[in-house]
Amino acid sequence: MSDSLHLLKTKRFLPLFVTQFFGAFNDNAFKNAFLIWFTYDVAVTSGVDAPMMVTLAAGLFILPFFLFSATAGQVADKYEKSWLTQKIKQVEIVLMVACAIGFYLHSVYFLLVVLFLMGVQSTFFGPIKYSLLPEHLKDDELISGNGLIEGGTFLSILLGTIFGGLIIRTESGIECVSFIVILFSIIGWISSRSIPPSPIGDTHLKIGWNIAKETWKIIGFARKERTVWLSIIGISWFWLIGATFLTQFPVYTKEVIGGNEHIVTLFLTIFSVGIGVGSMWCNSLLRGQINGRLVPYGSIGMTISIVIFYIASQCYAMPAKELIGLADFFGSGFYSWLILGNLLMLSVCAGIYIVPLYAIMQHRSEDKYLSRIIAANNVLNALFMVMASLITIGLFAIDLNVKQVLLIVGIANIPVFFIIRGVVNRRLSDA
């Protein structure tokens, strides 16, 4: 892990890391603050259906990844990326100011528009951040860089989600959230100014505005190299599993554990920290080599963890009292600790699984199309997360419970193990 941390001392990496960290924090702080504010303060007085609005908000944030990823990839390949990042971060400052105005006006629909525009901003930044890594890092630093980016992203998601949810309903919570997201957007813009210039992928590229046609085209670029395509499928599958667990933690906590919101936060914390640990551990395990030999171990580790997680959940005795807190849960006996241990094991294995796939995708992609291939990855990631929601809804519709849904995801991971093993030991020298 210490080998990875040296990158945080370099101008080649630190400004990008800081820019990404604060951007991810703001996305999740604003999104969760809006959802908590609406659910507990607005819905109870307005009569608007809270679950419907929560679903709409989630859809509005992810919709831009379908609509604009192709355009974002083309823009990132056509123009210099550090300059683009500065412009995108300037837009973020404007959006955070708009967020403060929306909360001050108590305008739900204005905030929904801001949420959609934040999704657009994230869509355009996505291809840039992952294509900058192979341009600024050495081959033997790429695993480290991806590990730090993934670990830092999940930590910032965790911190932003907790901050937005806890602060928004306190006295002066709206003012506090507004001040912090504006401040962090400014810090992100300042750090973006120190990102070194990068080579332009294709100066002669003509940007196409036909969304469906260009999306299909960038997917075609991704499919040219089999290992790149398999890596993208593997990354997207990770997001399907991650989205399923993250969205079901509240339901699982209430219906299986019989716990309150503090236990939900505990599960979210363990999941995020575990992915961060696994992501950063990758560099030590691979010693900087870019190959997929750890991917099958991460995949099968996730399945084993989910199966044991299910067994522990089955054996766990839900308390008779209405909702328990952290102290009662920790004192519930062996199975509560088995649940926590396997959730941690699942997330560490997920980190080990995902980082090599990102590095392989970046390094084996043709430089000219790199940003567009990463944009294709973003489209597939969004599609798989939507699939996760639809599959979960379908499984609940046939009267399966949340434990069974999570077990099915773990079992479904077994055939993915055989599909994705095509990336194993495909070193750069084979390209």
Domain range list for the chain:
1-192, 218-431
Q: Where are the alpha helices (DSSP H) in 287-321?
A: 295-315
Query: CB of 95 within 8 A of CB of 121?
Result: yes
Task: Classify domain 218-431 by CATH number.
Answer: 1.20.1250.20
Could you say which DSSP state residue 291 is in? -
324-359 residue pLDDT tens: 888 888 888 899 999 999 999 999 999 999 888 888
Q: How many residues does the chain have?
A: 431
List Cα–Cα distances, 115 to 34, 65, 110, 255, 430, in angstroms.
Answer: 9, 13, 9, 30, 44
Mean pLDDT of the chain: 84
**Token match 């003012």: residue?**
175
Query: CB of 280 within 8 A of CB of 414?
Result: no
Tell me whether domains 1-192 and 218-431 share a fold.
Answer: yes
Strand (E) or helix (H) holding 319: none
25: Cβ–Cβ under 8 A, 6 or more apart, which residues? 156, 157, 159, 160, 163, 184
Helices and strands (H, E) in the chain, number of each type: 16, 0
Query: CB of 365 within 8 A of CB of 133?
Result: no
Indicate whether 404 pLDDT > 80: yes
**Is the domain 1-192 a CATH 1.20.1250.20 member?**
yes
145-171 residue pLDDT tens: 888 888 888 889 889 988 888 888 788
Q: Looking at 165-169, 190-194, 271-275, 290-294, which range is the least confident one?
A: 290-294
96-152 residue pLDDT tens: 999 999 999 988 889 999 999 999 999 999 888 888 888 888 877 888 888 888 888
